[in-house]
Amino acid sequence: MPRAVTVLLLGQDALRSWVDQVRALIVTQANRTYKLAALVAAIVELSEDAIFLAGVDGVIQSWNPGSVALLGYTVEQAVGHHASMLLRPGREEAMQGFLKHVRTGEKVRDVESVFVRRDGSLVEVRISVAPLADANGEFVAFLAIFRDLSERNRQEAALRAKETSYQKLVETAHEGIWMVDVDDRSTFVNQHMADLLGYSVEEMLGRSPSDFYFSEAGRLERDQHRKRSLEGIKESRDVVYRRRDGEPLWAVVATTPILGDGKRIEGTLAMVSDITARVKAEESLRANERLFRSLFNESPAGQILSSSDRKIVAVNRAFCEMTGYTEAEILQNGWDAITPADDQAGIFAAFERLWSGEVDTMQMERRYRRKDGSWLWGHVGVARVADDSGRARYVIDQVQDISDRKQAQQALEHQALHDALTGLPNRVLARDRLDQAILLARRQQTRVALLIIDLDHFKEVNDTFGHQAGDQLLRQVGERFMAELRETDTVARLGGDEFAIVLLAADADAAGVVAAKLLAALERPFVVEGQALDVGA
């Protein structure tokens, strides 16, 4: 069938103009095509992504630097080889299926796969494929663009691992974790928080934390804290919740704002630490302290509390009444106010045994100096007060006033060792003093003198003036002897009108001098019942 022909009859100038226009159009189109091709080539060359061109038979036709960097094959090692070399062994059939799919002209977008590098290592990639057609519309090649996903996958795996760790941390945390949105609805509660209050997680989600507060005052206080949290303020405070069983739960709650995009506050995160056991222990300790202080202050026995540095830190009312001092006076002056210096060494030695743990308690008799100068005798029970670790913190003295009993005991002891008439040591005490003097003389390499003196005419005084006069005479004799002797010497009445004198560190000459002084004292008249009496020895 003949084709239709269009004939244009143009003049010479018009024909030349038309030819120029056609030539210009062809050049312009060629330039555009060249520029586009150059642009595409530059993009492929500079792209960090791996890009290669392959025919529908799978043979690689071009191979960009990104492919070289990612897979390790040079251009020479890749071009002309089948793309199946990039797949793991056994994947050839999958490649044939892929090529068949490409021939249909369908594009492939963002498919994740695994390629094999030249060194045999594997690389995770995301690949997109675009089929290319010729001028007749027949698909003759495909362009593959793929990107390394290894780093992304590693980051995602690390993120998942971190999320898993965080999740485990949240699930196993010994603190309650509570998240609340800006509308005061609970958006997250970990299991430990739910367990602390005795609810399930589901029962707590969507509710306000205020619903779980123990008191209205606590809820009002929380409203103020919540406002500050939504202003971006971090806080920590003590809170009392009400458990499901009605019991209180004491907790320390640390809150911090939750920041979203643009640092906009989206809620509050609270970390809740259960301090119920600590609060109860502290309350028990305070109760015990109140009980101890009550027993200490109200005890009828005197109480003295001392610290490890031997300072008196407290005394009770009973001890103040026993001694006549105020508590302030005793605390200010310490042991010096209430005990003589000679006794303090024994007191502190007992303290050391208690502080060291050698003993826990001790019993003793101890004297205290009253404010009026008299002596308070006490039966003292001493004990150390330890803390929970067993370390001594204080020493406490419990003092029972035994002054009357002690005075009676001393009176009996005095009567047993002293002459009832003259008050001088009797025969028993004189013998003891002599024994002690002999022992001392042996240690010091000295001598002891013993003088025995009998009065003359004593029986005549008794017979003439009566026994009362005789008693007065004996007392005056004892006083004169005492006046002539040293404090270290002893004058004793052995019985009747017989006296003994024990002289320490005295040889025969010294004893003779003392004897002469005593006899001279007897030569002076004694006045008895208004009568002057001469008595010798």
Average pLDDT over residues 350-374: 89
Contact 448, 506 (CB under 8 A): yes
Asked if the structure places residue 398 within a domain, the reply is yes
Q: Look up the pTM and report it.
A: 0.45
Q: Band the pLDDT of 33: cuts 50, 70, 90.
A: very low
Asked if the structure places residue 288 within a domain, the reply is no
Give percent of the chain with pLDDT exceeding 90: 37
**Domain match, 384 and 333 both:** yes
Place of tokens 């005795």: 198
pLDDT > 90? residue 48: no
Q: What letter does residue 418 receive in the DSSP assignment?
A: B
Q: What letter does residue 5 receive in the DSSP assignment?
A: -
Q: What letter does residue 421 receive in the DSSP assignment?
A: T
pLDDT > 60? residue 402: yes
Distances 285 to 278, 289, 316, 383 between C-alpha atoms, Å: 10, 6, 21, 20
The count of other CB atoms within 10 Å of the CB of residue 459 is 12
Greatest mean pLDDT among 1-15, 203-217, 412-426 lies in 203-217
pLDDT > 80? residue 165: no
Closest CA to 127 of 151, 106, 143: 143
Q: What does the block give as tokens for 381? A: 């029970």
pLDDT > 60? residue 299: yes
**Domain match, 381 and 482 both:** no
Give percent of the chain with pLDDT exceeding 70: 89
**Domain match, 181 and 218 both:** yes
Last residue of a domain, one of 236, 258, 274: 274
Average pLDDT over residues 123-134: 86
CATH classification at residue 472: 3.30.70.270
Work out how many domains the chain is built from and give that number.
4
CA distance 153 to 130: 25
**Domain match, 117 and 181 both:** no
pLDDT > 80? residue 163: no
Average pLDDT over residues 501-530: 88
pLDDT one-digit tens code per residue, 64-122:
898 898 899 999 999 999 888 888 887 777 778 777 877 888 888 888 888 899 998 99
pLDDT one-digit tens code per residue, 415-438:
788 888 888 999 988 899 999 999
CA distance 431 to 413: 16
**pLDDT recorded at residue 157:** 76
Asked if the structure places residue 138 within a domain, the reply is yes
pLDDT one-digit tens code per residue, 224-257:
989 998 888 999 999 999 999 999 999 999 999 9
Q: If DSSP codes are grouped into helix, strand and coil, which group holds residue 486?
A: coil
Greatest mean pLDDT among 102-111, 283-292, 298-307 lies in 298-307
Query: What's the mean pLDDT when you consider all of the chain?
Result: 84
Asked if the structure places residue 135 within a domain, the reply is yes
CATH classification at residue 230: 3.30.450.20
**Domain match, 399 and 442 both:** no
pLDDT > 50? residue 516: yes
Q: Band the pLDDT of 150: cuts 50, 70, 90.
A: confident
Q: Band the pLDDT of 3: cuts 50, 70, 90.
A: very low
**pLDDT recorded at residue 532:** 82
Closest CA to 303 of 386, 390, 383, 403: 383
HSE at residue 273, side-chain half, CA atoms within 13 A, is 10
Q: What does the block give as tokens for 264? A: 């906009």
**Domain match, 200 and 268 both:** yes
**Domain match, 486 and 460 both:** yes
Q: What letter does residue 325 receive in the DSSP assignment?
A: -
**Domain match, 389 and 361 both:** yes
Q: Band the pLDDT of 168: cuts 50, 70, 90.
A: low
Domain range for 475: 418-533
Contact 505, 441 (CB under 8 A): yes
pLDDT > 80? residue 167: no
**pLDDT recorded at residue 222:** 92
Q: What does the block give as tokens for 213? A: 């507060």
Q: Band the pLDDT of 9: cuts 50, 70, 90.
A: very low
Closest CA to 456 of 533, 393, 397: 533
CA distance 39 to 465: 158
pLDDT > 90? residue 196: yes
Q: If DSSP codes are grouped into helix, strand and coil, which group holds residue 341?
A: helix
Asked if the structure places residue 18 within a domain, the reply is no
Contact 272, 174 (CB under 8 A): no
Asked if the structure places residue 77 within a domain, the reply is yes
**pLDDT recorded at residue 251:** 95
Asked if the structure places residue 482 within a domain, the reply is yes
Out of 389-393, 427-431, 472-476, least confident range: 389-393
**Domain match, 318 and 392 both:** yes
Strand partners, 533: 526
Closest CA to 303 of 368, 388, 371: 368
**Domain match, 513 and 457 both:** yes
Last residue of a domain, one of 407, 442, 461: 407
Contact 50, 62 (CB under 8 A): no
**pLDDT recorded at residue 21:** 58
**Domain match, 401 and 426 both:** no
Average pLDDT over residues 385-402: 84
Last residue of a domain, one of 254, 274, 294: 274
**Domain match, 340 and 306 both:** yes
Please enumerate in sequence order all residues whose Cβ is within 8 A of that of 303, keeping only pairs 6 or more positions apart, or say none. Answer: 296, 297, 314, 315, 316, 318, 319, 396, 397, 398, 399
Nearest-5° Cα angle at 245, 242 to 247: 50
Phi, psi dihedral angles at 157 (to 5 degrees): -65, -40
Asked if the structure places residue 231 within a domain, the reply is yes
Q: Give the CA-trace dihedral at 432, 433, 434, 440, to 10 degrees.
A: 110
